[in-house]
């Protein structure tokens, strides 16, 4: 009996094309697109510059991700901040300068903006190069990675509440109890200056941890109630300080809410949160610019007298405080380029508190006038190109190695350290554009110190006998989490 062989072959259609035809068509499309872009940018060079910055940013982030294995890297945050902040300041700030509520001592000339562009480009490349050096950790984490909400649920309630109390206590020490209620200026403090910077860095960590406790249904009711009360107190403290970190509170609350199993109405909550962020970021700017004093009492009194300040919305002050860093950097480089003394640089990078340095004397020379202090990028330009390149390179190294160390921590410690590094990188990015070098570097030193301490306290693996030895020498069974990569 003859057996008929049936072969299933794809029936050709009119849409089937050889691979070489598809590749050729794609190449032609790319060539045409590049040609049209060049024709357009010939009449509008700004488009070519913007396209170049965006392409360079993509290449930096792609190579950094390939090198480190993660996209949400501290160096990634700073590189994006420098590149996009520089791009916005170069093209957008001239359009909002009149409503930005910043110093009018900066001339908006091509020399100022072009000088700033070179400084931003060199700073970004140097920082990125430093972050590329450490790479990814070649040691496996002691605990298997877990979801964020699972890791946060392993933190005991008293430790989580303590993490929420720390930034509140630091703010009370830095500004004083009376200073939070009323003080002469929103930056005026009574305690050591480093406590104010530390409170600024740890505030996002405290808010995030308290938010996770608040929405964790497995926690006891009294722990969740205490977390909610501390969260309200932290919000009040941020409002009394007059910082734009107030806008981080709804964003971090939404993040914790979305990560603890809440998925219904996620888009609605996301849009609502974005509205709250935009609203809350403007309240500190409105009350700071219109109040005679600062603190909870003057701010509330001002809002009571002028209710329109609750909802006044002006994009100029919101974006101007960041984008203003571009012309400020260019003006500092134009006036003080390569003229700032070495001892000022040494004081600026010194991690010791200001009481142990001559900072009170040095900072008098780090400003265009008494109302316009130097920002970090402009100050580095004032020291000269070797200082600017070397400093940003070292900062990239420090952030890269600090993040690499977090891979050697337990899952809980790694989550806390990552939150601290992420918030520190975001604050440092803002400081590069707005505040002096010492203010920004202080945040980096604090983050590095925190990671080092957590690494010392984290259990270390002894694979020879299959046990973990902690900081105090006690041993426990070592989990078998598979072969290391």
Please report where in the chains the tokens 């803002």 appear, as a residue.
430
The C-alpha angle with vertex 69 and arms to 66 and 70, in degrees rounded to 5, equals: 110
Per-residue pLDDT of the chain in tens (485 residues, 90 and over written 9)? 454 444 444 444 434 445 555 566 666 666 666 665 555 555 555 667 777 888 889 999 999 988 888 888 899 999 999 999 998 888 888 877 776 666 666 777 888 888 899 999 999 999 999 999 988 766 554 444 456 666 677 788 888 899 899 999 999 999 988 889 988 877 778 888 778 878 887 888 899 899 999 988 888 899 999 999 999 999 999 999 988 889 889 999 998 888 776 667 788 888 889 888 888 888 887 887 666 788 898 888 888 888 887 877 676 666 777 788 888 899 898 888 888 889 899 999 988 877 778 887 888 888 887 778 889 999 999 999 999 999 999 999 999 999 988 877 877 778 778 888 888 898 899 889 888 999 888 888 888 888 888 888 776 544 444 444 443 334 444 443 333 33
Cβ atoms of 108 and 374 within 8 Å: the answer is no
CA end-to-end span of the chain: 58
466: left (phi over 0), alpha (psi -120 to 50) or beta: left
Q: What is the pTM of this model?
A: 0.72
Q: pLDDT per residue over 71-113, tens digit each?
A: 888 999 999 999 999 988 888 888 777 766 666 667 778 888 8
Structure tokens at 199: 């409170």
Using DSSP bridges, classify how beta strands 460-462 and 372-373 pair: parallel, antiparallel or unpaired.
unpaired
Q: Where are the domains of the chain?
A: 148-460
Closest CA to 320 of 311, 332, 312, 328: 328
* Residue 250 contacts residue 273 (beta carbons within 8 Å): yes
CA distances 269 to 149, 234, 311, 362, Å, are 19, 22, 20, 47
CB-CB neighbours of 29 under 10 Å: 10
């Amino acid at each position: 009996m003859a057996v008929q062989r049936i072969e299933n072959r794809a029936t050709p259609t009119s849409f089937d094309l050889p691979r070489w035809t598809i590749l050729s068509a794609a190449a032609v499309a790319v060539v045409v697109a590049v040609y049209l872009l060049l024709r357009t940018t010939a009449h509008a060079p700004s488009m070519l510059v913007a396209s170049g910055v965006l392409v360079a940013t993509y290449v930096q982030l792609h190579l950094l991700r390939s090198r480190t294995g993660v996209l949400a890297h501290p160096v990634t945050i700073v590189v994006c901040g420098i590149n996009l902040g520089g791009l916005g300041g170069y093209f957008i700030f001239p359009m909002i300068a009149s409503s930005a509520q910043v110093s009018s001592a900066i001339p908006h000339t091509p020399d100022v903006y072009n000088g700033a562009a070179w400084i931003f480009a060199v700073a970004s490349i140097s920082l990125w190069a430093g972050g590329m050096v450490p790479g990814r950790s070649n040691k496996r984490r002691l605990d298997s990675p877990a979801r964020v909400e699972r890791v946060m649920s392993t933190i005991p309630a008293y430790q989580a509440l303590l993490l929420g109390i720390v930034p509140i206590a630091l703010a009370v020490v830095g500004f004083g109890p009376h200073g939070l209620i009323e003080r002469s200026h929103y930056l005026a403090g009574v305690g050591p200056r480093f406590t104010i910077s530390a409170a600024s860095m740890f505030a996002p960590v405290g808010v995030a941890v308290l938010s996770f406790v608040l929405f964790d249904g497995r926690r006891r009711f009294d722990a969740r109630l205490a977390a909610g009360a501390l969260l309200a107190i932290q919000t009040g403290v941020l409002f009394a300080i007059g910082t734009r970190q107030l806008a981080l509170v709804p964003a971090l609350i939404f993040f914790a809410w979305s990560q603890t199993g809440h998925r219904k109405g996620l888009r609605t909550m996301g849009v609502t949160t974005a509205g709250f962020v935009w609203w809350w970021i403007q309240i500190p700017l409105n009350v700071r610019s219109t109040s005679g004093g600062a603190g909870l009492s003057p701010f509330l009194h001002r809002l009571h007298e002028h209710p329109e300040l609750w909802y006044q919305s002006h994009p100029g002050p919101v974006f101007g405080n960041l984008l203003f860093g571009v012309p400020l950097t260019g003006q500092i480089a134009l006036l003080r380029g390569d003229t700032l003394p070495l001892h000022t640089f040494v004081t600026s990078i010194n991690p010791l508190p200001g009481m142990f340095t001559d900072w009170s004397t040095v900072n008098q020379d780090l400003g265009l006038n008494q109302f316009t202090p130097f920002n970090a990028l402009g100050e580095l330009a004032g020291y000269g190109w070797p200082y600017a390149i070397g400093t940003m390179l070292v900062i990239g190294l420090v952030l890269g190695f600090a993040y690499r160390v977090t891979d050697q921590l337990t899952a809980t410690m790694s989550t806390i350290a990552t939150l601290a590094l992420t918030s520190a990188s975001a604050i440092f990015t803002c400081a590069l554009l707005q505040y002096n070098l010492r203010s920004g570097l202080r945040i980096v030193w604090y983050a590095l110190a925190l990671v080092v301490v957590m690494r010392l306290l984290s259990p270390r693996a002894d694979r020879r006998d299959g046990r973990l030895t902690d900081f105090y020498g006690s041993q426990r069974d070592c989990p078998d989490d598979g072969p290391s990569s």
